[in-house]
Amino acid sequence: MKTDAFIGLGSNLKDPAAQLAMAVAELSALPDTTLVAQSPFYASSPVGPQDQPDFVNGAVWLSTGLAPHTLLDQLQAIEHAHGRERLKRWGPRTLDLDLLVFGNLVLNDNRLTVPHLELPNRDFVLQPLLDLKPDLALPDGTSIATLREQCPDNRLRKLPPPDYP
């Protein structure tokens, strides 16, 4: 059985839009997984330390037969392949892939929290999710649209489509 999984993507190092475009291709190649849709990319101010470049963010909608922790392992392997280093909380990064929503699953263990805890506070995640599925709601019934209306502004700017071959 397949589950709808929504993944947030972010980067602010080493050509961020290219990092995200490559990650989308890698996500679409995951085993037992199909890419349903990809959001536009957005630029936003960094959360946390401000002494770093702005981020490029987006999201993808996957249909996957992978279990949540297996999908998390795959996401972390892609991050690692892109040179992701976890040196500073909310610091600069080549690639950040977050499992935001996994069907109607509610999970909070030592490795994974779904839905993502910071979802209500991140316009750079909520807007791409709305682009993908305007009627998306969390397992408790809270609509992503409602969260977006209440979310603090992070200087979100929609970017033109990347010009990659």
Alpha helices in the chain (DSSP H): 16-28, 68-81, 123-132, 144-150
The active-site residue out of 15, 98, 123, 163 is: 98
Per-residue CA distances from 85 to 9, 15, 80, 95 (Å): 15, 16, 8, 9
Write down the catalytic residue from 15, 86, 93, 131: 93
Annotation marks residue 32 as catalytic: no
Catalytic residue among 86, 96, 148, 153: 96
Contact 125, 8 (CB under 8 A): yes
Helices (runs of H) and strands (runs of E) counted in the chain = 4, 8
- Among residues 84, 86, 135, 163, the one annotated as catalytic is 84
Known catalytic residue at 157: no
CA dist list (Å): 119 to 21, 25, 128, 145, 161: 22, 24, 12, 12, 24
Among this protein's residues, is 122 annotated catalytic?
no
- Is position 98 annotated as part of the catalytic site? yes
Q: Which residues participate in catalysis according to the annotation?
A: 84, 93, 96, 98
